Structure 1
Amino acid sequence: MNPLALTFRRFSIAQLLLAALMVLLTCAAMAIYLASDILTQRSIDELAAKQARKTSQLIFQSLYGVMQKGWIKHDIQDVVTRIHYTLPEIDIHLVRNKKLAEMFGESEYSLEQREHSAQVNQVMESGQELLRAEADRLHFIYPLVADEGCIKCHTNVQEGYVNGVIHITFPLKELKVPLSFALTNIIHIFGVITLLILLIQFFVFRRFFVQPIMNLTEHILTIRETRELPSQKTLRDSPTWFRELHHLTENFCDLMQNLNSAQNRLRDQSERDELTGLFNRRFFNRTFAAELSRAKRYKHSVALFMLDLNGFKPINDTYGHGAGDAILQALGREMQNKLRDNDIIARVGGDEFVVLAPEIGSQGASQFEEKLRSLIEQTTIVYEGEQLSVGTSIGVALYPDHGDEAKQLLDFADEAMYADKRRRKGLA
């Protein structure tokens, strides 16, 4: 067999399932850890862009209000200074385009940015905001697009023209620390929840999948060790939530029931006489030994009756074996119906029978003997229009009066039976 297959056979389904869940959990944790930096950076970018956009719009609205009031360049710079003071962690700069600088004056920062900053020129040309990380700071460039209100003052531009940009710089640390803390907590919570879900799945799978399989295995081991087929009621009543397991359990129980029926049939065939349905010699010998042992233990009496039919051979010779078989069958039915349930009746030869009657003493044995004789003599059959019947010779042996061993009692009953047969022939 494949060595790998032998290795896996050493583990149970529950152990393999637990190992698979742990591998899955480990892979998920590694994936989350590797993706955490990307998630953190993306979250920082989105948060910074949102905050910078709001700040830029606030600055623009402040500047727009100042310009509408007709304030001069120094007043506008004072507004920017106050915003710097309000948000000290953020650097804010205004960059005018060339036309606006010609109309309202140039600043050194604006000139430097227009001449040396490709990002500023990109935003001025496209009119699209730009977010980029550089070292430990995040840069956000917001375009100031001229609208209908702007061209009233800025007569040298058209609507939709980019008058300039607001350049805002954020420290990444201010965003990364709380965001990383929050993201780490979320990852931990997610990991704990995932672990709990996997553990719940493991225990549910073990309870409703592995346990029914173990029950089936225990039944199989019981059958192998005891050679007996146990009752299937407990197995049928055990809950099986999975349809496949339910079908497996039902099929197993049906198989065990069929095997039990087959076993009972085989036992009957091995223990019973095929013609009469009575027990055979093998079963009688085993039962006689057990009953004698029980009588010795509890000091009970046991009566053994040995019967030999009289007039049976002439019926066979005259009417054939069919008639003899019919008489034997009728006698078997009558003895089973008329004797006690705990009496053991067996056919031990062609026309020989034994009856084991527990807990019958000498007085009861005489009455029982007469009952047997009357039962047999009164049993008649009609065969091919003829009414047929037989008689019997009976020998009785009592425990402990006539012996305490099975062979002693059988020999005594056998001699008594032949003595009764000789006496009846003499009377005849």
Structure 2
Amino acid sequence: MESYTTYRRLIAKTVIFSLIASLSIAFVYGLYIKKRAVDDLARVDARKTSRMAFEALYSAMEKGWSKQEVDAIIVRLNNVEPQMRINAYRSPIVASLFGDRINDKTIREHDPMVAKAMKGEEILTGEDEIRYLYPIVVKQECLACHTNAKIGDINGVIDVRFPVANLKISLTMMINSFIVFFTVFTIAIFILLYFRLNALLVQPLKQFIGMIQDIINKNDMAKRVSLKTRILEVKNIENYFNKMLDSIQDYYEKLQHLSDRDYLTGLYNRRKFEEFLSYEIKRSMRHHHKFTMLMIDLDNFKYINDTYGHASGDLVLKEVTEIFGANLRNADILARLGGDEFAVILPETPYESGFAVVEKLRSRLESTPISLMFDQITLTASFGIAEYPEQGENIEALLTGSDLAMYKAKRAGKNTISRADQSDQDMAAEIQKKGEFLRRAIDEDRLEPFVQPIYNIRTNEIFGYEVLARIRDGQRYMAAGQFIEIAESLGMASRIDQIILSKGLDNRANLKMWDKKFFFNLSTHSLFGGNYLSVIEEHTMKNDQVGVDTGIVIEILEREAIHNVRALMDIIEAMKEKGISFALDDFGSGFSSFVYLKYFDTEYIKIDGEFVKNITVNEKDRIFVKHINQIAQEFGKKTIAEYVEDEETLAVLKEIGVDYAQGFHYGRPHALS
């Protein structure tokens, strides 16, 4: 098992090692200085002392002093420094001419160092005591007295002895030695720290950074860091970073699953389905295969949500997923695109084979009862088929083709299978073109509210205005009839309703038209899914209209109300509590018009213009209008006649007793200013 150390231990070890190294170097350097003192300083000092002794003796000998007098000089020299001993020994040349001194011959013969010095060799020796032997070489001036000698001979040896402790090292040498020692030691310590920290810290961190960059560049969450280090903290960084990568990878895989899968059913979602569809198109193009794509929409699924609740609806979607999955091949791709809409890719499956698969799905779904609370229901679906490449050679074309085929199956009575033909494709292209026009108009803020006045027939005064949507297209304005159906089919109607509502309310506030009613056309889809109540509440609070009749009237299309009577009744009741009124629009155009008078607590009835515009020439239309007005009055509701285009029509309406009227006779839609 590999052992690791901590940074604290590393620093302690480095400090201790540096201390030991410095002490060792200081000790070795001290020995070096001592050796240098012995070898160099002792030699210099001894040479100076020997030279001084020689000069003193030489001066005495020049004066003709006897041997006794010379010995007395030596004694005096030894007395100057008690711990230093100086002796002078004559060479045989001098002894033969002037006579030998006591013990000189014995010392020459028995002291090998003296004998060596007599041969001209300068000698320095000793550990605790320094002994320096200085040979006196014959020079030119010596020949006057030493007639038997020649230049270069040795006349004698001066023997100087003194303890090592008496050596005096110069201050300059000490300072220089300390500077050299400190400089070398500091450099050595820094080099040591540099290489040690570089190896144990910097290199592992550089390796760590490099691995992180590699993980980022390659987006490889499966890769792990492995550092070459003996430092425990660095190893802990490696371990914790790898644990963090484990967590990130786990979250990444979960997010990847969530980004690819529908949270409820576990099926692929729209984004992933389109990726598979793109791949299948490329594969089929390369291998010249056909394949089939299905678009599936459950029939009357909204009824299940409204009747049993959304939780039960979710259970149904899971059951449907099980039914579809059990009747598809492993290679088939099933996805939930949203709501109750599913899609399937049948790889390498032409239309004929694909139709058989779809028929199997349709029949199995229809024949499989689904348990729901204390009830059992059966469910059907509408299926749209698109074949590659006949119905499209790209994703958009296939999605549009199968979507159109699915709506075609819906219109054909549901629980059926349809295939889009060329006319459907042309219609889809036109819808797509108009949808793009609508999106640009919304993005570029070209939606404008126009108003058409509503007059009180008896007083001939303006009672209110109906707010209508228009799109500014250059110098002209497009009426709602030119784009509203496309907007509804593409799910853009609610957005348009909200823009017109907000702008219409702003115009009313800017012009302070608080005494006039403002009628807004909002589809039931907008009422169910929009935040219109909050828009109106914000408007009324800003203009101090809270708790009073707001003067805002919401028009409900009679043909739309049939889809969800109960929910619409609740919405009307909630909004009426906020001072908002309601009008039932296009009354008389459907068979259930009079039934709605019972359920919907509306203040106004707008009589369908189809009955009004021919009232002067068609007796049946006059009877219809008369009875609608009479019943409305009995229910306590006011009536508004549409399509009033001339004075004659107005006269008949006045005779019948209709309350209000609007139409070209009173004024065309225009912008408020």
TM-score of the pair, normalised by structure 1? 0.52
Q: What's the CA shift for 1:407?
A: 1.8
Task: Tell whether the 8 Å contact from 2:129 to 2:162 is kept in structure 1 after alignment.
Answer: no
What is the alpha-carbon distance in structure 1 between the residues aligned to residue 278 and residue 392 of structure 2?
Answer: 13
2:108 — aligned with what? 81
Query: What is the match of residue 659 of structure 2?
Result: none
1:131 aligned residue (108, 124, 129): 129
For the 8 Å contact 2:381–2:414, the answer to whether it is kept is no
Query: Following the alignment from structure 2 to structure 1, what is the Cα–Cα distance between the partners of residues 384 and 317?
Result: 19
Output aligned runs, 1:11-410, within 5 Å: 38-41=33-36, 79-85=106-112, 88-89=115-116, 131-132=129-130, 202=195, 209-225=201-217, 228-233=219-224, 235-236=225-226, 239-336=228-325, 339-377=328-366, 380-410=369-399
Query: Residues 86 and 43 of structure 1: is their aligned pair in 2 closer, same or farther, counting only changes over 3 Å?
Result: closer
Tell me the distance in 1 between the aligned counterparts of 2:232 and 2:201: 10
Verify the 8 A CA contact 1:327 1:380 in the aligned structure 2: no
Residue aligned with 1:348, SS: strand
**Hey, what does 2:539 align to over in structure 1?**
none
Which has the larger share of helix?
1
- How far apart are 1:38 and its partner, in Å? 0.6
Distance in structure 1 (CA, Å) of the matches to 2:203 and 2:322 = 49
Task: Tell me the SS of whatever aligns to 2:230.
Answer: coil
Contact 1:394-1:417 within 8 A present in 2 as well: yes
Aligned-residue CA RMSD in angstroms? 4.7
TM-superposition CA deviations, 1:106-164 (whole Å, max 9, x none)? xxxxxxxxxxxxxxxxxxxxxxx962588x97xxxxxxxxxxxxxxxxxxxxxxxxxxx
Inter-partner Cα distance in structure 1 for 2:37 and 2:357: 103
Contact 1:396 1:413 in 2 (8 A): yes
Q: Structure 2: how far apart are the matches of 1:426 and 1:243?
A: 69
SS across alignment from 1:285: helix
Instruction: Give yes or no for contact 2:382–2:415 (8 Å, CA) kept in 1.
Output: no
Amino acid in structure 2 at the alignment position of 1:81: R
Partner of 2:82: none
User: Offset at 1:243?
Assistant: 1.7
After superposition, give the CA deviation of every residue in 1:179-222 in whole Å (9 maximum; x if it has no partner). Answer: xxxxxxxxxxxx9xx99xx79994x8666644442343134324
1:379, 1:305 → 2: CA distance? 20
Structure 1 residues 207, 368: CA separation in 2 closer, same or farther (over 3 Å shift)?
Answer: farther
Paired with 2:327 and 2:415, the residues of 1 have a C-alpha distance of 30
| Aligned-partner SS, 1:88 | helix
Q: Flag the structure with larger Rg.
A: 2
The structure-2 alpha-carbon separation of the partners of 1:248 and 1:34, relative to structure 1 and needing over 3 Å to count, comes to same
Kept in 1, the 8 Å contact 2:262–2:269? The answer is yes
Instruction: Please tell me whether the aligned partners of residues 131 and 161 of structure 2 are also in contact (alpha carbons under 8 angstroms).
Output: no
Cα gap change, 1:374 to 1:31, in 2 (>3 Å): farther
The answer for the alignment partner of 1:120 in structure 2 is none
What's the CA shift for 1:248?
A: 0.3
Q: Residue type matched to 2:221 in 1?
A: P
Partner of 1:114: none
- Partners of 1:229 and 1:260 within 8 A in 2: no
**Cα distance, 1:339 vs. partner?**
4.0
Does the C-alpha gap of structure 1 residues 43 and 387 become closer, same or farther in structure 2, counting only changes over 3 Å?
farther
CA contact (8 A) 2:409 2:415 kept: no
CA distance in 1: counterparts of 2:234 and 2:104, whole angstroms: 80
Deviation of 1:258 (Å): 1.8
Task: Answer yes or no: is the 8 Å Cα contact 1:327–1:389 preserved in 2.
Answer: no
Give, in whole Å, the separation in 2 of the partners of 1:376 and 1:211.
65
Tell me the alpha carbon deviations over residues 223-267 of structure 1, each in whole angstroms, 9 at most, x when there is no partner.
Answer: 5445x343234x25x544322122101111122222223233334
| Partners of 1:305 and 1:394 within 8 A in 2 | yes
- Whichever residue aligns with residue 36 of structure 2, its letter is Q
CA deviation vs aligned residue, 1:274-293 (integer Å, no higher than 9, x gap): 32222322333344334423
Counterparts of 1:200 and 1:359, CA distance in 2: 69
Distance in 2 between the 1:341 and 1:206 partners? Answer: 57
Structure 1's unaligned 5+ residue stretches are 1-23, 49-73, 92-128, 138-165, 171-190
* Distance in 1 separating the partners of 2:192 and 2:329: 62
**What are the superposed Cα offsets for residues 31-65 of structure 1, whole Å, 9 maximum, x if unpaired?**
899768515326759xx9xxxxxxxxxxxxxxxxx
Cα contact 1:303–1:361 (8 A) shared by 2: yes
What is the alpha-carbon distance in structure 2 between the residues aligned to residue 359 and residue 318 of structure 1? 41
Q: CA deviation at 1:352?
A: 0.9
Q: Is the 8 A contact 1:84 1:90 kept in 2?
A: no
Q: Distance in 1 between matches of 2:354 and 2:294?
A: 9
Question: Where does residue 417 of structure 1 map in the other structure?
Answer: 406
| In 1, Cα distance between equivalents of 2:313 and 2:236 | 51
TM-score (norm 2): 0.35
Distance in 1 (alpha carbons) for counterparts of 2:114 and 2:329: 109
Asked if structure 1 preserves the Cα contact closer than 8 Å seen for 2:204 and 2:234, the reply is yes
Give % identity: 30
CA contact (8 A) 1:326 1:381 kept: no
